[in-house]
Amino acid sequence: MLELQDLHVAIGDREILHGINLHIEQGETHVLMGPNGSGKSTLLMAIMGFDAYKVTSGKIIMNGVDVTDKPVHERARLGMGIMFQRPPTISGLKLGKMLNVINPDKDRDIQPAITRMNMVDFLERDINQGFSGGEIKRSEILQMMVQDPSFIMLDEPESGVDLENIHLMGESIAFLLQKHQRFANRKNSGLVITHTGYIMDYLDVDKGHVMINGEFKCHGNPRDILKLIKEKGYNECLRCDKIV
Ligand SMILES: Nc1ncnc2c1ncn2[C@@H]1O[C@H](COP(=O)(O)OP(=O)(O)OP(=O)(O)O)[C@@H](O)[C@H]1O
């Protein structure tokens, strides 16, 4: 599904990611952890192809297609979707209008998704304008449900979300990642950034990676990695540099 080959990424003149290798199979969900500022969001933004994140060497392959030089809209057309950590406010564009634009199948009724995410009263509001932190996250998940991507990137989906809404978010993300289906039948894959690991209560996650200073330091069972980080901190990951 997604393969990163020795990916180096710079913002301006500064190299942030120093040779990332990653392979995510169809149906798998991987978790990305790491201290603040280590480059996790940069990795997601570079995979999606945003201009400020320059791939200076290495490759991004999606379903066998080299997308390293392809623009964002083409990557989206190939099935990539992203939920930002801090999505921008889009003045002058109503949420309802946006949902209609991104719906790839105009005959598909998106009302059930809108109702499920409790966003009926937000359709006539400019996107994210005055939305609370939790409302922004619900709006982002709703847009993802409508866009229906097959490779789903989520940047701290649980941050700023209250306990009741975490349940809604978790269940909805599990639905997006087809966790209700047997692994062999799943078409969708995901890469999820989390600090707290709460989202793992809802997702059957497959592999975890720890990023430190723009490099992967540790790979393995995400729950074991989280436990290690909670007990010993990221310094242990720096020392570990292996599969746990
Ligand atoms: N647009 C930008 N311009 C300049 N520097 C940036 C930009 N975006 C990110 N950086 C820098 O790149 C480094 C990695 O940032 P990034 O947001 O990828 O980290 P992160 O691991 O996602 O952090 P956090 O856990 O705090 O969200 C940081 O030093 C950050 O200041």
Ligand 1 centre to CA of 52 (Å) is 12
ipTM, 2 dp: 0.96
What's the rounded mean pLDDT across residues 83-90? Answer: 88
Q: Kindly state if the Cβ of 13 falls inside 6 Å of ligand 1.
A: no
pLDDT, position 241: 57
pLDDT, position 244: 53
Q: Kindly state if the Cβ of 9 falls inside 6 Å of ligand 1.
A: no
What's the rounded mean pLDDT across residues 42-70? Answer: 97
| CA-angle at 32, arms to 26 and 34, nearest 5° | 170
Q: Kindly state if the Cβ of 214 falls inside 6 Å of ligand 1.
A: no
Of the chain, the percentage scoring pLDDT greater than 90 comes to: 75
Ligand 1 centre to CA of 56 (Å) is 17
Ligand 1 atom index nearest CA of 38: 21
Ligand 1 centre to CA of 11 (Å) is 9
Whether residue 47 has pLDDT greater than 60: yes
pLDDT, position 243: 57
What's the rounded mean pLDDT across residues 34-49? Answer: 97
235 pLDDT band (50/70/90 cuts)? confident
pLDDT in tens, 124-161: 999 999 999 889 999 999 999 999 999 999 999 988 88
Q: Which residue has the higher pLDDT, 243 or 225?
A: 225
Domains and CATH numbers, the chain: 2-240 (3.40.50.300)
Q: Kindly state if the Cβ of 234 falls inside 6 Å of ligand 1.
A: no
pLDDT in tens, 10-39: 999 999 999 999 999 999 999 999 999 999
pTM over 0.90: yes
Q: Kindly state if the Cβ of 34 falls inside 6 Å of ligand 1.
A: yes
